[in-house]
Structure 1
């Protein structure tokens, strides 16, 4: 892991798989934008903090996914730092029971074992109406981009560096992703289109890049997610149930399902695309013998 300079007091930690930005309040205190994954990243992040004599004063979170908030509670306990997060995302990760509403395919025991690091106490709730927030006396602009998650936000530092979180993915990620995640594909596409309005000096994508201009990247993302939707559509045959669609997509996309966790993951990845295809009129469905079956319109 290493620290990359971005602009002014805005830096990011390169974990190897993600970029985690932070803003330096002074030579010792920092505000992190997301906290990263616990398993595989925490030790390296902590070493960088210690080596640079940094203390975390606050963490502003883009959304409640395990690779973005996995160290929240750990760092809060260690540094007594402030946690800020969009309201809905904060409620989601406030308890294992609330997480069950999202990870519905898993038992509470499985959720605790696999996603227990997500549970955290949020000090500052960010409303869906807010366009900025202040923490530790520092003002950050907030840009709402629901879709990848229900209340995903982008955060702009005082250096006019915008952290996009997962609102966009990099070209490298697009080359390797088989079935990229979006909680609601139609809303995610709308939010990607909204990003054209941003006027910042630099942009940080969590997975994983730093850009001075994102116009082409936005277009590439839009085409990428639409192409994935088309690829899912092409796998479907008339009269398929969701189970049969999942089986066909798993085989066609060369995905792996060998545990209940992987089964639940593929379910969460695939279902939003089926919903998008239904919303756009590409698929219709009806109930036969107690089963939902899909047809191409």
Structure 2
């Protein structure tokens, strides 16, 4: 199989690196500054994302996790410099949230064919003790380009969005996308998720760049999701086990 990754140019210094051949359809994003580059998430770990990144820049790469779920950190093992929110550091350095067996099963269920160079038996969990941490409102300076960390827990305790201060791009991870928002994990919290939506819904945003699915996102999506959470809360259903709520552009699974 050729071209496991699809590279889409957002602008001259921003690229989406997508894995559309898997049912999760995850996106990683390469942000290039004047002095270094930032890779937001690293996908499934099926193809070699580092090779794709090196085609686009020769700068040193820092990888930052929107959150430490299996479909966002699979390629981390290929890089040396990593950032993660402090609340999920132990998921990398001590107690992984997903087991190796669970990840392999998720990979198999989501794809018809792997690339020839990928052997699922060789798949390894990313584990690192000295990983660097970020906190809410931290600024990552890439040289001529500054990225703000916004702590947006709910989907997971250390979930973050990344806000490109100059371009007004918001990289939303699993906070907002055209698909099913999953909040049924034991470490998910629908009430906290709604509070996180409050933090980002009024930002000046020129482009929403999600963690999954369609890249053509309507700029009012975050407010629509927030309104949906308000409705669910008013009905007394904003809690685990309430089921699936379906809307025009997204679904919510509690």
Q: TM-score range by the shorter chain?
A: 0.5 to 0.7
Shift of 1:208: 2.3
| 2:139 counterpart (133, 139, 142) | 133
Query: Is 1:65 aligned to residue 72 of structure 2?
Result: no
Query: Is 1:215 aligned to residue 220 of structure 2?
Result: yes
CA distance in 2, matches of 1:231, 1:23: 36
Aligned partners of 1:85 and 1:126 also within 8 Å: yes
CA distance in 1, matches of 2:195, 2:154: 8
Aligned residues, how many? 214
What's 1:284 paired with? none
Q: Would the alpha carbon gap of residues 230 and 144 (structure 1) be closer, same or farther in structure 2, given more than 3 Å must change?
A: closer
Per-residue CA deviations over 1:21-68 (Å, capped at 9, x if unaligned) read 111236x96321111111x3x23x345335446565111211111111
| 2:156 counterpart (141, 144, 149) | 149
What's 1:291 paired with? none
CA distance in 1, matches of 2:61, 2:31: 10
Aligned partners of 1:32 and 1:56 also within 8 Å: no
Query: Is 1:4 aligned to residue 8 of structure 2?
Result: yes
CA distance in 2, matches of 1:55, 1:6: 18
Query: Is 1:86 aligned to residue 88 of structure 2?
Result: no
Shift of 1:132: 2.9
Structure of higher RCO (CA pairs closer than 8 Å, 6+ residues apart): 2
State which drifts further: 188-197 or 142-151. Answer: 188-197
| 1:200 counterpart (199, 205, 221) | 205
Aligned partners of 2:168 and 2:206 also within 8 Å: yes
In structure 2, the gaps of 5 or more residues are 106-122, 245-252
Aligned partners of 2:190 and 2:239 also within 8 Å: no
* Aligned-residue RMSD, C-alpha: 3.7
Q: Which structure: greater helix fraction? A: 1
Query: Is 1:37 aligned to residue 44 of structure 2?
Result: yes
Per-residue CA deviations over 1:211-253 (Å, capped at 9, x if unaligned) read 575324442475389499699548xxxxxxxxxxxxxx9xxxx
The 5 Å alignment of 1:1-297 reads: 1-16=5-20, 17-25=25-33, 30-38=37-45, 40=46, 42-43=47-48, 45-52=49-56, 54=58, 57-76=61-80, 82-95=81-94, 98-99=95-96, 102=97, 110=101, 116-121=124-129, 123-127=131-135, 130-137=136-143, 138-157=145-164, 158-170=166-178, 173-174=179-180, 181=184, 183-210=188-215, 213-220=218-225, 223=228, 226=232, 232-233=241-242, 273=254
Q: Would the alpha carbon gap of residues 9 and 118 (structure 1) be closer, same or farther in structure 2, given more than 3 Å must change?
A: same
CA distance in 1, matches of 2:129, 2:7: 27
CA distance in 2, matches of 1:31, 1:19: 14
Q: State TM-score, norm by structure 1.
A: 0.59
In structure 1, the gaps of 5 or more residues are 77-81, 235-248, 250-269, 274-297
